[in-house]
Amino acid sequence: MRKILTERLEAFYRAHATDKKTLDVGSRSGRHSAFFPQITTIDIDPKAGPDIVADAHALPFPDASFEMVLCLEVFEHVKDPVKVLSELRRVLVPGGTVLLSTRFLFPIHEAPNDRWRFTRYVLVELFADWKEVTIQDDTQPFTAIGCMLERFAWQSDFRYANKIIKGLLIVASWICMRLDFLVVAQYGDVGKVSRIDSAFTTGYYVVAKK
C-alpha cells in the first residue's frame, strides 16, 4: 500500500512537470527526474547518490543558474530556513520558479534531523519578497487524521498483535481519507471568529516566482 503523502506529492510534481533547467535540492537519488528531465541533483549526504554533494545553505552555483528550483520535503530539515530560501532565490533566473513542500501536522521523521514545522502564515512572511506566490494546503482534516494514523502504523511496533493493530490502523486511515466531505467549515480559533481553509493540514505546497 502506497503512503498517502507519496501519492499527494506525486500529484504536485506532475502538475508542475517541466523540461526547463532544474535544480533539485535535497534530492537524494534523483527521485523527481521523471517529472523534471533537465535536472541537477544535490544532497548533503553522498550516500544519497546526488549529482553534486553540497549544502543547501551554500549552493555551489553562480547566480541565476536555473529556471526552476525544487525544495521538496527538505525545508523542515535544514538548520537555517531563511538562509536556504535566500540561496534558492539567488540561483534562480529572474522570473524563475521555486517549488517547495514542507510538513505541518506530521510526526517526527528523518530523526534526528527533523527541526521545523511551518504554518501558512510563516510561509507568507518568508515569501513576502517573491512574486505570484501560491500556498496550497496538503490535506483537509479527515485526510490529515488518516495520514497520521498511517504514519503511526508505519512508525510504531505494538506489544500484542502487532500486524493486526497495524492493519486496523491502515483500515482506519483509508476510511478517514473518504470523510472530508463531512466538514463544512473550519476556524483558526476556538471562538470560531477566524474562518480558514484548513486548520488541520499535514503540510503545504508553495509555488513562487523570483
Answer yes or no: do 204 and 175 share one domain. Answer: no
**Mean pLDDT for the chain overall:** 93
Answer yes or no: do 127 and 154 share one domain. Answer: no
| Cβ count within 10 A of residue 148 | 20
Answer yes or no: do 69 and 162 share one domain. Answer: no
Please check whether residue 76 is in contact with residue 118, taking contact to mean a CB–CB distance below 8 angstroms. Answer: yes
Q: Which contiguous run of DSSP H or E holds residue 90?
A: helix 81-90
Using 50, 70 and 90 to split pLDDT, how confident is the model at 2? Answer: low
- Asked if the model's pLDDT at residue 31 lies above 90, the reply is no
Compute CA 135 distance to the chain's CA centroid, rounded to the nearest angstrom: 11
Per-residue model confidence as pLDDT tens digits over 81-117: 999 999 999 999 999 999 999 999 999 999 999 999 9
User: Based on the structure, what is the number of domains in the chain?
Assistant: 2
Range of the domain at 84: 4-139+200-209
Answer yes or no: do 84 and 8 share one domain. Answer: yes
Model-level pTM greater than 0.85? yes
User: Cell 535566500 sits at which residue?
Assistant: 86
3-state secondary structure of 64: coil
